[in-house]
Amino acid sequence: MKNILIPTDFSQDSNRTIDYVTMLFKNESCAFYFLNTYTYDISGLNALDMLQADDEWFDKPKEDSLLQLNDLLISQRIRKNYSNHEYHIISECSSLAKGIEKQLETLDIDLVVLKGDTKLGRKSKSIIGNIRTCPVLLVPVSSAVDDELCLTITSNFKEKIRMFGVNRFLEALKNTNLKINILVLGEKKLIGVNVKYNIDLLLNHLKEQAVENVKVEYTGNAFDLKAYASTHLNNIMCVMDEKPDFLRRVGLSHSSVIPTLENLHNNTVLTIHQ
């Protein structure tokens, strides 16, 4: 059974994300964990106000969170007739990033799912940049699940692809009619021996995983990637987040995959961490 963590703020966009993911994995045995995080609004309060606050003031955010999570749980059980799915709710007093990190430490999560937007927000950037134990799937509002699902693995292939994250996603979709494209960010006539070797490694690995009919395509620069994505809106675009260097580990730089994600905001994007 696959464990999938989906943060929710109970908005329509969050509900659409949940609908997309449950449909995507309709043929798989999955446990979906709906996470809602909340904080206390202490703006304008001084220390004395905090001491005098009654239990109701402290309890209300938790109660509201649990009430809406229970409504979501009931809705999913009524609307979704998937006997291979189970649903769980989690309410946490924390920031979203901290709440997700806590669940990754306590649950064997295979995939984190975030709602996408036209602009990648600060919270999403932080989550994508810091979560490295499992893939992150960004789902824009316009996403729809096709009968013929295609995963496009995108890279310049200057480094070997770490297959652990790819394997986890492929395993989760093993009962789906999944096709795979490999999109090489470069011109075919200009790629070097090392790039070709890394592409062949990936092709051989996919063959060992019984994935057939893999298509290899080539493009030029980041602009060409955006143009490709705009004509393949129903594809799940898979991008690789490089291993953090020293500056990123100490917080002085950000993930190099962020600009790519901002170019793909109309696509469902799977981020694999190297």
127-175 confidence digits (pLDDT tens): 877 777 788 999 988 888 877 888 999 988 888 887 777 777 777 777 7
Domains of the chain in sequence order: 2-273 (3.40.50.12370)
Residue 52 parent element (H or E): helix 47-52
For helices 96-106 and 122-130, angle between their N-to-C axes, nearest 10 degrees = 30
Convert the pLDDT of each residue in 6-60 to its tens digit: 999 999 999 999 999 999 998 889 999 999 999 876 555 544 455 455 555 567 8
Q: pLDDT at position 133, please?
A: 78
Determine the Cα–Cα distance for residues 241 and 129; give it in Å rounded to an integer: 8
Location of structure tokens 């070797």: 197
| Alpha-carbon distance values, 133 to 129, 172, 267 (Å) | 11, 16, 23
- Which residue from 29, 33, 31, 21 is spatially nearest to 174, judged by alpha carbons? 29
Nearest to 128 by CA among 242, 221, 2, 247: 242
Q: Are 253 and 247 in contact (CB under 8 A)?
A: yes
Contacts of 3 (CB under 8 A, 6+ apart): 30, 31, 33, 107, 108, 109, 110, 111
d(CA 243, CA 135): 14
Residue 263 burial (CB count, 10 A):
18
pLDDT tens-digit series, residues 182-236 = 999 888 888 889 999 999 999 988 888 777 778 999 987 656 888 888 888 888 9
Task: Say if residues 36 and 91 touch (Cβ distance below 8 Å).
Answer: yes
Per-residue burial over 61-82, b if 16 or more Cβ lie within 10 Å, else e, is eeeebeebbeebeeebeeebeb
Per-residue model confidence (pLDDT) at position 46: 47
- Average pLDDT score over residue span 93-114: 92
What pTM did the predictor assign? Answer: 0.86
pLDDT of residue 206: 87
